[in-house]
Structure 1
Amino acid sequence: MEQLIEFHDDDEAQVVLGIQDCNLRRIREGFDVEAHARGRSLQISGDSAQVNFAVSAVESLVAAHRSEGELNLDEILDGALMSADSVEEEHRPAPKPSKGPIARSPGQQLYLDAMSRSPIVGVLGPAGTGKTYLAVHRGVEYLKQGLVRKMVLCRPAVEAGEKLGFLPGDFQKKVNPYLRPLYDALGELLDYDQIRRYSDREIIEVVPLAYMRGRTLNEAFIILDEAQNTTPAQMKMFLTRMGQESRIVVTADPTQVDLPRGGPSGVHHARRILGNIEGFEWLELDRSDIQRNSLVTKIVRAYESHEGSQKKKPTQPPRGQTR
């Protein structure tokens, strides 16, 4: 199918298509159509349903421009893209079957309740307690319900034994392994095409923590994963990115700190100085909340027992010295 749209003048074409054709690119990628602008004309071709969605979006942008009001064209285009997704989802095959209740332990239910109640939530717990999965699940819910406009997931790029410089590829390829667990969590809730579309439109971003500096995120659901590997300065930088109508979830496993020995963890520092701020809620999960393979619970228990016994052992003075 092919449709031709004629703009009133060059100014209208430039405003609707965006600076350096930024809106035109979003229309191509978001609706998966061919779109070519020539002077005051815009030609759109492709699947008939997608072309109709794209034409409707362009017409909404034109109407907003002609109204001469204070309408935000970015928000109008966002809404058109989200509406098209909603219609498509109604005709897609049934989503992945649920693996059971979202909360599978009392601690996990407290975590979900906290995310509904408080703008900022910090959760600490061992591996397998659902810290990241439940945060991503709640973020996707907020996104689909229109409670936020975007979702941002980030992690500190801290090595656990290997150095970034020794990994192959450019910087993006080097940091991708650190972000892989966040994509895995998204993959449990959205299909590949959805993740790709949301990523192309920057509705969902998965980025290293360093990329957050200097940003203000309004109407966003923001998740900081592996926060035990942040420094106090990084944690302060992250928390102050929060804009209007945004929500933040900070997840951390205090037993898996990969910072240089002796370096203070930003999550412990934040909990100490921000513990009494209204709207910032902290909670802890424990091994009773682990929902991975049952062996994970046994592994965590064994490590906790070993570390506890090591702490109880008296330290021996260096040879030649006395206490």
Structure 2
Amino acid sequence: MSKQTKNVQLNFQTTEEAQQLFGANDRFLKLLSDHAGIELSARGTELRVSGDEVKVIAVQKTLQEILKRIQHGQDIQERDYLYFYDFITSKKEEQVDELYNYNIAKSARGKKLFAKSQTQQQYVEAINQEDLVFGVGPAGTGKTFLAVVCAVQALRNNQVKRIVLTRPALEAGENLGFLPGDMKEKVDPYLRPLYDGLYEMLGAEQTARLLERGVIEVAPLAFMRGRTLNESFVILDEAQNTTDEQMKMFLTRLGSSSKMVVTGDITQIDLPHNRTSGLKTALHLLRNVKGINITEFTNADVVRHPLVQRILEQYEKAEAKK
């Protein structure tokens, strides 16, 4: 393989763009350099890239593509550098271009939110098309956050009249009633990941107003019994900790003009060993039912720090050995 050293001039419009692209103390460049196995250094707005010719060209394209996204107001994170590079080296540039132009929504601060993987894009499309969607996979894949984003979009577009958020409060067991505060305050700690999405999309003040008016409702799963949820966008989070009875009860709450999204990770079941996960059973029974979509995320879809993906891989290897 031929080695090459290349000076790359990037077309920055502001110095802030260079800071965004390179990261604090050039941390994004170091990340990409380690991942690609090349030498990469910055001087002002110019880059010096040394290594295998094919990799040097791929790194150059990666940084040019990411800069283009930064200039279009996209939120670029560490993991995107690796994702872009891997797409480009596998000659899937058209797919990455399509992916990073797939605008899902705008945040409360006006930031454009984009799919971070092809699975995320498929998941959002499924939520928009189907009335019942399961998002299943490891932590950090965005399945809960994207469900909330889609729920807020549906509310904004008057497709639904309210958002209902629920989660099995397994850790609280039968002691939920003894916790201080009203019902919202009792279950809030269990719904924090859902609130993160609401705050991103609506801001803290509007989220509080909608909660007060009942447009957004939070409730433990047990409180769904006996209800029919019409004109609602309903999200069940941490569904791997439901029992078969709870899952059946929840799914049959679906009313007219409503959507349901069920999220969970079947490798993180906290139920007693003698109880079957309702999520596992539902995935087995409903996989081929018309009108139901099951989107399965993998470690490759993890959008947190790149270390999270490697941590998950090591745990999977350990589990496989057992």
Partner residue in 2 for 1:169: 180
- Counterparts of 2:175 and 2:267, CA distance in 1: 22
Q: Does structure 1 residue 96 correspond to structure 2 residue 77?
A: no
Cα pair 2:145 2:196 within 8 Å, conserved:
no
Partner residue in 2 for 1:180: 192
CA deviation profile, 1:44-66 (whole Å, cap 9, x unmatched): xxxxxxxxxxxxxxxxxxxxxxx
- Counterparts of 1:49-198 in structure 2, within 5 Å, are 95-98=108-111, 101-159=113-171, 164=175, 169=180, 172=183, 173-198=185-210
Partner residue in 1 for 2:319: 307
Shift of 1:198: 0.8
Shift of 1:169: 2.6
Shift of 1:281: 1.1
- Counterparts of 1:150 and 1:166, CA distance in 2: 26
Partner residue in 1 for 2:276: 264
Q: Which amino acid aligns with 1:96?
A: R
Q: How many residues are paired up?
A: 215
Cα pair 1:179 1:207 within 8 Å, conserved:
no
- Counterparts of 1:206 and 1:150, CA distance in 2: 11
- Counterparts of 1:164 and 1:109, CA distance in 2: 39
Shift of 1:185: 2.0
Cα pair 1:227 1:266 within 8 Å, conserved:
yes
- Counterparts of 2:260 and 2:199, CA distance in 1: 21
- Counterparts of 2:308 and 2:213, CA distance in 1: 37
Q: Which moved more, 1:203-212 or 1:129-138?
A: 203-212
Q: 198, 201, 217: which is aligned to 2:213?
A: 201
1:294–1:213: structure 2 CA closer, same or farther, 3 Å change rule? same
* TM-score, normalising length: structure 1: 0.63
C-alpha RMSD of matched pairs (Å): 2.1
- Counterparts of 1:192 and 1:182, CA distance in 2: 13
- Counterparts of 1:163 and 1:297, CA distance in 2: 35
- Counterparts of 1:285 and 1:235, CA distance in 2: 21
- Counterparts of 2:307 and 2:219, CA distance in 1: 31
Q: Which moved more, 1:178-187 or 1:256-265?
A: 178-187
Task: List alignment gaps of at least 5 residues for structure 1.
Answer: 1-93, 311-323
Cα pair 1:198 1:204 within 8 Å, conserved:
yes
- Counterparts of 2:181 and 2:199, CA distance in 1: 25
- Counterparts of 1:166 and 1:213, CA distance in 2: 17
Shift of 1:236: 0.6
- Counterparts of 2:252 and 2:320, CA distance in 1: 36
Q: Is the partner of 2:171 in helix, strand or coil?
A: coil
Q: Which amino acid aligns with 2:190?
A: Y
Partner residue in 2 for 1:211: 223
1:304–1:196: structure 2 CA closer, same or farther, 3 Å change rule? same
Q: Is the partner of 1:257 in helix, strand or coil?
A: coil
1:236–1:299: structure 2 CA closer, same or farther, 3 Å change rule? same
Partner residue in 2 for 1:283: 295
CA deviation profile, 1:218-277 (whole Å, cap 9, x unmatched): 111111000000001000110111110101100011111010113100011112222222
Shift of 1:174: 4.2
Q: 297, 307, 321: which is aligned to 2:309?
A: 297
Cα pair 2:108 2:200 within 8 Å, conserved:
no
Shift of 1:287: 0.7
Partner residue in 2 for 1:222: 234
Q: Which amino acid aligns with 1:169?
A: P
Cα pair 1:179 1:208 within 8 Å, conserved:
no
- Counterparts of 2:136 and 2:208, CA distance in 1: 30
**Structure of greater Rg:** 1
CA deviation profile, 1:82-115 (whole Å, cap 9, x unmatched): xxxxxxxxxxxx93253x6421101101111111
- Counterparts of 2:186 and 2:163, CA distance in 1: 23
Q: Which moved more, 1:180-189 or 1:103-112?
A: 180-189
Shift of 1:129: 0.2
1:109–1:258: structure 2 CA closer, same or farther, 3 Å change rule? same
Q: Does structure 1 residue 273 correspond to structure 2 residue 285?
A: yes
